[in-house]
Amino acid sequence: MNIIDLNAIEQNTKYFLNILGNAKLCAVVKNNAYGHGLVEVAHRIAPLVDMFAVGSVDEAEKISFLNKNILVLLPQNKRNTERAIRYGFALTVDSFGTLRTVNGAANSLGRVARVHIKIDSGMSRLGFAEQDVAELSAQLPISPLSVEGIFSHFYGERTADCDAQLACFERCARQLRRLFPDAVCHIANTSGALLSSKYHLDMARIGLGLYGYGDNALTPAKNVFAEVIAAKRVPAGSVVGYGAKYRCAKDTNLAVLATGYASGFPRSLIGAKIKIGEEFFPVVGVCMAMIIADVNDKQVAVGDMAQLLGGGVNIANDNVIVYELLCNF
């Protein structure tokens, strides 16, 4: 059972508005708003934010009724590029191949495409390399494009890494802004925006922070619960779950919950904590439709509810981070 607190998302948004000061806030609502509900989230915070960022034209269409600027973050094929241009969505141009696609779509429609130029400042994912910016600068003025933004993305949270990426990005942006002086520059994600105001630039793209993670002042908006469907006491030495990977060190109580990896709770979270009542207990087994928690001497009954995420339960380890859990649950 998932409960989404839209009030928390609104308050988290206001928290970032205060942090960003004069910089604009682009709310990242891609992938169904990180599993919180695209339309519901966007509708709630639309009056507060300057722009939305989504992953696809389909997502952009769903929130187009809000009449906000929408940036499609991923490169699109010709059909979706044409759809985006018709709607007036801003497209990401991340390569010369994407540039050709957007140019072709704009020319075929007789329209000017709104775009943000993506720079690869070090993540090696999407974006123009620094050495390509000179050639890009030669091609853009003869393209049917309105360059409204220039952006990149941080790969880490260390100041040294962010500073190196910022320096690369600013060198590229300076060249492009000679042609497009009004283009909005943005590089900071949630962690970058919280790390230092020097990364805010003209705008920051806030995703995870909207949903309650990244700072203790934020409120997690998704609360995930599972019902106890079996409770049993087992003797010391009992095997729990597949592979005999966990044996009870002493006589103990177990709680079996109605969730599992088919519901988004991955096996790699064996050892993570869930909460029953006000106490935290380790997950010792994960199956397709069930997980098993060692609740020690606590008396647990069928029908009790266990909290898997939210309310102080941030189940994450080296293999699974909260981004994945928000999308999975």
CATH number for the domain harbouring residue 231: 2.40.37.10
How many residues comprise the chain?
Answer: 329
Other C-beta atoms closer than 10 Å to the C-beta of 261 total: 17
Same domain, 53 and 142: yes
Q: Is the pLDDT of residue 319 over 90?
A: no
Based on the domain organization, do 35 and 169 belong to the same domain? yes
pLDDT tens digits, 217-262: 999 999 999 999 999 999 999 999 888 889 999 999 999 999 999 9
Mean pLDDT of 14-33: 98
What is the Cα 210 distance to its own chain's centre? Answer: 9
Q: Flag whether pLDDT at 95 surpasses 80.
A: yes
Domain boundary among 164, 190, 211: 211
pLDDT classification of 318: cutoffs 50, 70, 90: low
Q: Are strands 24-28 and 51-54 parallel, antiparallel or unpaired?
A: parallel
Q: How confident is the model at residue 141 (pLDDT cuts 50, 70, 90)?
A: very high
pLDDT of residue 134: 97
Output the average pLDDT for the chain.
95
pLDDT at 245: 85
Parent domain of 49: 2-211
Q: Which residues contact 140 (CB under 8 A, 6 or more apart)?
A: 117, 147, 176, 179, 180
Residue 123 DSSP symbol: S
- Could you identify the residue written with the tokens 């102080």? 312
Listed in sequence order, the residues at least 6 apart from 127 whose beta carbon sits closer than 8 Å to its beta carbon are 94, 95, 118, 119, 120, 121, 152, 153
211, 239, 268 — which closes off a domain? 211
Contacts of residue 141, defined as CB under 8 A and 6 or more positions apart, other chains included, come to 179
pTM, two decimal places? 0.93
DSSP state at residue 114: E
Query: What percent of the chain is predicted at pLDDT more than 90?
Result: 91
**pLDDT tens digits for 42-63?**
999 999 999 999 999 999 999 9
Asked if residue 192 and residue 121 are part of one domain, the reply reads yes
Last residue of a domain, one of 143, 178, 211: 211
CATH number at residue 177: 3.20.20.10
Sign of CA dihedral 59, 61, 62, 68: positive
Interatomic CA distance for residues 102 and 82, integer angstroms = 8
167 band by pLDDT with thresholds 50, 70 and 90: very high
pLDDT score of 87: 97
Query: 305 and 177 in one domain?
Result: no
Determine, yes or no, domain membership for 217: no
105 in a domain, yes or no?
Answer: yes
Q: Report the SS3 class of residue 173.
A: helix
3 class by beta-carbon count within 10 Å (0-12 exposed, 13-18 middle, 19+ buried):
exposed
Judgement on whether residues 205 and 249 belong to the same structural domain of the protein = no
Name residues whose C-beta falls within 8 Å of residue 255's C-beta, 6 or more positions apart in sequence.
228, 230, 231, 276, 281, 292, 293, 295, 300, 304, 306
- Whether 69 is in a domain gets the answer yes
